[in-house]
């Protein structure tokens, strides 16, 4: 693979230093790395996506490796933990043994820290068309989330794939399907965010 140019190297270094670029503009990045013009930054980022250094998703660009020696092809077995959003009762989700595993690579998922990830299989239609019954949903374990994230949450012992929204000081579990009502999260509920949705693999 062709060696990276100075701007591409500067972009990797910048994203390594700044792990959350969601609110940073292309112009600000250009000024920070002396790239000259925002379009130059955009072009170089897209080149780095093609070289598998970055992934691009709904939140923008994410650094997934820092050098050519970082492996993208090592196969790991990620567990699949049952069903989510269907109303099935679970025990402690991440502590439970999964029924199956699936072989994946970082290149397949565009996720840097695969070790913190697992799959759940969706069931039901409350998140259609974003997530459909039978889809495999990659979850990155973390308690924090943004309001734009889809999350894997345990709500009163029920595993669900939802958005968590706030209205008039109250939290709700929101479905994508407009025929489903939002569910208020009360102070008496047991609610725990297990992680955020990183990728959806359609009905495999």
Same domain? For 120 and 30 the reply is no
Considering the domain architecture, whether residues 46 and 113 belong to the same structural domain is answered as: no
Q: What DSSP designation does 114 have? A: G
| Residue 59 pLDDT greater than 80, yes or no | no
Verify that 82 and 143 share a domain, yes or no. Answer: yes
pLDDT digits (tens, 9 = 90+) for 86-137: 433 444 444 444 557 777 766 667 676 777 888 888 888 888 888 888 888 9
Residues 119, 146, single domain; the answer is yes
Tell me: pLDDT of 166 over 80.
yes
pLDDT of residue 150: 92
Q: Within a domain: residue 194?
A: yes
153 and 93 within one domain:
yes
1 within some domain: no
Residue 165 lies in a domain: yes
Residues 83 and 151 in one domain: yes
The stretch 3-22 carries a mean pLDDT of 83
Give residues with Cβ within 8 angstroms of 102, minimum separation 6: 77, 78, 80, 119, 136
Across 36-55, average pLDDT: 86
The rounded distance, in Å, linking the Cα atoms of 178 and 164 is 15
Structure pTM?
0.62
Does residue 172 surpass a pLDDT of 90? yes
Same domain as 93, residue 51? no
DSSP label of 129? T
- Domain around 31: 6-63
Domain co-membership, 183 together with 86: yes
pLDDT tens-digit series, residues 18-42: 866 666 888 899 999 988 899 999 9
CA dist 38 and 35 (Å) reads 8
- pLDDT over 90, % of the chain: 19
User: How far apart (Å, rounded) are the C-alpha atoms in residues 78 and 151?
Assistant: 18
- Could you give the number of structural domains in the chain? 2
Taking the CA atoms of the chain, what radius of gyration do you get in angstroms? 19
């Amino acid at each position: 693979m062709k060696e990276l140019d100075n701007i591409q190297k500067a972009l990797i270094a910048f994203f390594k230093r700044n792990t959350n670029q969601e609110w940073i503009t292309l112009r600000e990045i250009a000024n920070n790395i002396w790239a000259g013009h925002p379009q130059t930054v955009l072009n170089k980022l897209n080149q780095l996506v093609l070289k598998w250094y970055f992934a691009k998703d709904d939140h923008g660009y994410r650094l997934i490796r820092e050098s050519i020696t970082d492996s993208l092809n090592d196969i790991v077995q990620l567990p699949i933990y049952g069903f989510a959003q269907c109303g099935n009762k679970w025990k402690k989700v991440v502590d439970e043994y999964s029924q199956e595993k699936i072989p994946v690579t970082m290149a397949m998922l565009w996720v840097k820290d695969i070790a913190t990830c697992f799959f759940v299989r969706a069931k039901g239609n409350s998140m259609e068309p974003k997530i459909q019954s039978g889809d495999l949903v990659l979850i990155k374990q973390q308690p924090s989330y943004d309001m734009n994230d889809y999350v894997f949450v345990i709500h009163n012992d029920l595993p669900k794939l939802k958005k968590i929204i706030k209205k008039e000081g109250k939290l709700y579990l929101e479905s994508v399907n407009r025929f489903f009502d939002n569910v208020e999260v009360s102070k008496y509920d047991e609610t725990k965010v297990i992680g955020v949705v990183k990728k959806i693999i359609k009905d495999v």
